[in-house]
Homo-oligomer: A and B are copies of this chain.
């Protein structure tokens, strides 16, 4: 669409950079509770959007630029009739982006103005589910898919905590980091892993529909603070790391039949080097959730902030050098697969298969 072209082609980066721009996928724009009676501004894949609720309470998303004099509609207000009013000249838009009133314009009658095409502002498909507002950043297009469900997020047997963090990082680097095991012993030394002796475990990497998964077999309970909270008595854990296109990183832990922890990081590429992360932590534990939650949350946030900090200096170094120059080993278990999937999806060349197949087995010392 011509109106968006300048946003998407204006290069925010150059050279050899692991930047993928998948515009025909769903991304979380905000949490449901963040969208009330006022319009809010969000940016997805470099596209500025205004979100607001129409008179039926449903969320709508428009390009955040009034077609009249190009000021952000997000600085306006939502009227009682559910229309969004531009703050500059009061043009009114409905949830489909159609201009319904040009105040002061007499030549077209006293009521709503005609549906002049140039007065529309592009609209984006929106869905609200599981407490999140999802957008589809390809303007004026009806998606053929729906946003994914969040397992256990609405399950009464589980405690669910949501935290947000903005990473100054490419989507790829943020997702790789969220699913990377080896860094935890160093970057999060003492918090997560890295306190005691090392154990050699087995890793199975599998292709899954629109994603990739690594299963860690024979992993002892992580010795750090987080592990001790989850399982004071130790034991073997079951552990899966998953990437789901376009931007979901999921970590699942099971300790016996009682303890189940699922961290689903919904990542939104704000721009090439900014990734907004909504971390959905759902757990059912031997100990009550209300007891664990106040202990676990600060530790989890500290881990997330350490990740945000290393991702920021990584992005800054990459930009300084004009691109990445990565040297991977086999224990960079998922990163290269994530990159391959992103590039395949960008080229609209994803494998059609819905089956799960084993890609590789390897050993890793944790």
Could you tell me which A residues sit within 8 Å of B by CB distance? Answer: 3, 6-7, 10, 15, 48, 64-65, 67-72, 75, 85-90, 102-107, 116, 118-119, 173, 180-183, 185-187, 198, 200, 310, 313-314, 317-318, 320-332, 362-366
- In the complex, the chain B residue whose C-beta lies closest to that of A193 is B104
Give this chain's copy count: 3
Contact check: which of B15, B72, B200, B317 meets A317 at CB < 8 Å? B72
Q: Are B322 and A71 in contact (CB under 8 A)?
A: no
Chain B residues in 8 Å Cβ range of A185: 90, 103-104
Q: Give A187 to B87 CA distance when docked, in angstroms.
A: 6
Q: Give A363 to B65 CA distance when docked, in angstroms.
A: 27
- A43 CB → nearest B CB, Å: 10
Q: Are A186 and B107 in contact (CB under 8 A)?
A: no
Q: Give A65 to B324 CA distance when docked, in angstroms.
A: 10
Contact check: which of B3, B10, B314 meets A325 at CB < 8 Å? B3
- A139 CB → nearest B CB, Å: 13
Q: Could you show 30 A-B contacts with beta carbons less than 8 Å apart?
A: A3-B325, A10-B322, A65-B321, A67-B325, A68-B327, A68-B328, A69-B173, A69-B314, A69-B326, A70-B318, A70-B321, A70-B325, A70-B326, A71-B317, A72-B313, A75-B313, A86-B186, A87-B187, A88-B183, A89-B182, A89-B186, A90-B183, A103-B185, A103-B186, A104-B198, A104-B331, A104-B365, A105-B330, A105-B331, A107-B330
For the complex of A and B, 5 pairs with smallest distance between CB atoms:
A6-B322, A90-B186, A106-B363, A118-B327, A67-B327
- A14 CB → nearest B CB, Å: 9
Q: Are A186 and B70 in contact (CB under 8 A)?
A: no
Q: Are A186 and B87 in contact (CB under 8 A)?
A: yes
Chain B residues in 8 Å Cβ range of A200: 106
Contact check: which of B10, B88, B363 meets A310 at CB < 8 Å? B88
Decide: A104 near B366, CB < 8 A? Known: A310-B87, A313-B71, A321-B7.
yes
Contact check: which of B3, B116, B314, B363 meets A71 at CB < 8 Å? B314
Q: Give A360 to B105 CA distance when docked, in angstroms.
A: 15
- A116 CB → nearest B CB, Å: 8
